[in-house]
Structure 1
Amino acid sequence: MSRARVGVQVKPEHAAYADIRRTCAALEEMGVDVLFNWDHFFPLSGDPDGAHFECWTMLAAWAEATERVEIGALVTCNSYRNPQLLADMARTVDHISARGGEGRLILGIGSGWFERDYDEYGYEFGTPGARLDALDRDLPLVKERCSRLNPAPTRPIPVLVGGGGERKTLRIVAEQADIWHGFGDAEKIAHKHAVLDDWCARLGRDPATIERSAGVSPQPGRFPEDVPDHAAAADALYAVGTRLFTTGLSGPDFDLGPVRDLLAWRDAVNS
């Protein structure tokens, strides 16, 4: 059975970059497995016009500043970049992150949802269905371009797809992703796993080849604050097959306490 891993989303909002960088260094030292940011142009909580930094520029900096931890966006918005360009960006960050071996990038991606990003930066928002169709169309283009780049990526870059739509998103995961990420309690996640497994059966994919990821902390301003105990939430999610457990940190203070608890839980279940 695959081991439990811990990911931390260091939100690129309401903090100076120096503080974000110090937080990432501390998290790597603590033993976190994956560092995530997110791909938005404005804060998702607090002051909507507060301090905020761009996703992929930051990932390149993290690739240089860290040594061991995997890095990625939770998640990249497919709408914001040409898929050929995104492939080249991902390949480049993959190489920057390599330390004498394979790179450490996870290509987290989703169809997009935050309308203000689209409106203020001049992207067409369209409909959820059209954005999912675009993701379905573009992921093969990303992979195809990666196969043609010189130099090639240091490894097949793992693709994480975020979202819980049962008719389109989970089919895309079954066809094209290495990791699925969702939000919800154990009952909801177990249901999504069953739907994903069914899509895998229809498409001839071994469901065990898809790592299951879920958030185990509240996301202020977007998700209800209904997870008071990170370890208890992780226990319940682990029982239904989740193996990558993510928690979010908000600036400017970045409280590391919940991460310590989650790491202690991880080490206990993996022992």
Structure 2
Amino acid sequence: MTRSIRLGIQVQPQHATYQHIRETVVELEQLGVDILFNWDHFYPLSGEPDGLHFEAWTELASWAELTSRVELGSLVNCNSYRNPDLQADMARTIDHISAGSTGTGRFIFGTGSGWFERDYDEYGYEFGTAGSRLDALAAALPRIEERWTKLNPAPTRDIPVLIGGSGEKKTLRIVAQHADIWHSFVSPEDLPRKLEILAEHGEAVGRDVSEIELSNELRNRDESVADALLDAGVTLFTLGISGPEYDLETVKHWIRWRDSRNA
């Protein structure tokens, strides 16, 4: 399957006013990025720990109204913070909001098992263990997919599922079962081995994993690494940018790289 190279920008919802985030989202769509992501946390992950920060899902509903072309989602939703059926309904609702006059939604359901302990402690969620959180994600995804079949109105399209993480025993099996997109920070050198393991999981669950789009992060990487990831099969490249001043010059650089490789 031949895929175009896509660029997704994670507008990290930290250290900036919402007005500035709105302006950045609008400008990024005008610049020509393919996807806009945020993250699903309650506190900043860098800089001042108690700095400005906004909640992911309500922000995405706003972005769905602000934009008309880009796809959008979290990189990634934390499965622990919301009931699976509620997650499905929220995703379906943003899917419809983002459809606008076209009738086809632009929402990507990016999800993962969660990891930032402060979120759990401050908001009263049980942190558990990495294994228990992955087990909860594995149990949640079938419920989410089933709820999508019951909602009225139904989603406007088969909502793409992006799963983040690279754990070989549990995460990649969940990816093989449920993901349309697999996101990781895996190096170009290690990616072939991870893909072999993913293929083994796909064989076990009866899935052709070549259907799954590969996604990887560009931050703190140069074009040589991006080219190596591209050679290894990655076609969705993400770049995280943070407030208070979102770096759009770096975004423009990677847009030029994307366009040159797609030419």
Which category describes the TM-score, using the shorter chain as reference length?
over 0.9
**1:191-248 deviations in Å (ceiling 9; x for gaps):** 2222212211222211221000001114xxxxxxxx2x2x222111101000100001
Distance 1:150 1:257 in 2: 43
Q: Give the 5 Å matches for 1:176-191.
A: 176-191=178-193
Q: Return the letter of the residue paired with 1:159.
A: V
For each residue in 1:20-54, what CA deviation from the matched residue of structure 2 results, as whole angstroms up to 9, or x when unmatched?
Answer: 11111111111100000000000000000100000
The letter for the 2-side match of 1:121 is Y
Counterpart of 1:208 in structure 2 is 210
User: d(CA) in 2 for partners of 1:190 and 1:6?
Assistant: 22
> 2 CA distance for matches of 1:146 and 1:110?
18
- Tell me, in whole angstroms, the C-alpha distance in 1 between the residues paired with 2:24 and 2:225: 24
Q: Given the alignment of the two structures, is residue 239 of structure 1 paired with residue 231 of structure 2, yes or no? A: yes
1:185 Cα shift?
2.0
Structure 1 residues 8-47: aligned runs within 5 Å? 8-47=9-48
- Distance between the aligned counterparts of 2:153 and 2:213, measured in 1? 27
Q: What is the CA–CA distance in structure 2 between the aligned matches of 1:81 and 1:193, rounded to whole Å? A: 30
Q: Note if contact 1:6-1:246 (Cα within 8 Å) is conserved in structure 2.
A: yes
Moved >4 Å (runs of 4+): none
Q: In the aligned structure 1, how far is the partner of 2:95 from the partner of 2:59?
A: 13
Give the Cα–Cα distance (whole angstroms) in 1 for the partners of residues 84 and 205 of structure 2: 24
Secondary structure of the residue aligned to 2:72 is strand
Normalization by structure 1: what TM-score? 0.94
Secondary structure in structure 2 of the residue aligned to 1:186: coil
Question: Which consecutive unaligned segments of at least 5 residues does structure 2 have?
Answer: none
Mean CA deviation greater in 250-259 or 50-59: 250-259
Q: Distance in 2 between matches of 1:3 and 1:15?
A: 32
| CA–CA distance in structure 2, aligned partners of residues 15 and 241 of structure 1 | 35
Residue 134 (structure 1) shift: 0.4
TM-score (norm 2): 0.97
Residues in 1 aligned to 2:104 and 2:31: alpha-carbon distance in whole angstroms? 22
Match of 1:70 in 2: 71
1:84-123 matched pairs, under 5 angstroms: 84-99=85-100, 100-123=102-125
Which residue in the other structure is 1:153 paired with?
155
> What residue is the counterpart of 1:256 in the other structure?
248
Structure 1 residue 190 displacement after superposition: 2.8
Q: 1:258 to 1:194 in 2, by over 3 A?
A: farther
Aligned to 2:261: 269
| CA distance in structure 1 between the partners assigned to 2:114 and 2:86 by the alignment | 17
User: Match of 2:144, SS?
Assistant: helix
Question: How far apart are residue 187 of structure 1 and its match?
Answer: 1.1
Does the CA contact (< 8 Å) of 2:166 and 2:186 recur in 1? no
Q: How big is the shift at 1:260?
A: 1.1
Cα distance in structure 1, aligned partners of 2:175 and 2:10: 21
Report the Cα distance in structure 2 between the residues aligned to 1:251 and 1:258, rounded to whole angstroms.
14
Given residue 60 of structure 1, which amino acid in structure 2 is its aligned partner?
A: A
Q: Which amino acid aligns with 2:141?
A: L
Q: Which letter does structure 2 place at the counterpart of 1:179?
A: I
Aligned length: 261
1-side partners of 2:23 and 2:244: how far apart?
12
What CA distance in whole angstroms lies between the structure 2 residues aligned with 1:29 and 1:191? 38
In the alignment, what sits opposite 1:169?
171
Instruction: State whether residues 182 and 189 of structure 1, in contact with CA within 8 Å, keep that contact through their aligned partners in structure 2.
Output: no
The percent of aligned pairs where both chains have the same amino acid is 60
Contact 1:59 1:72 in 2 (8 A): yes
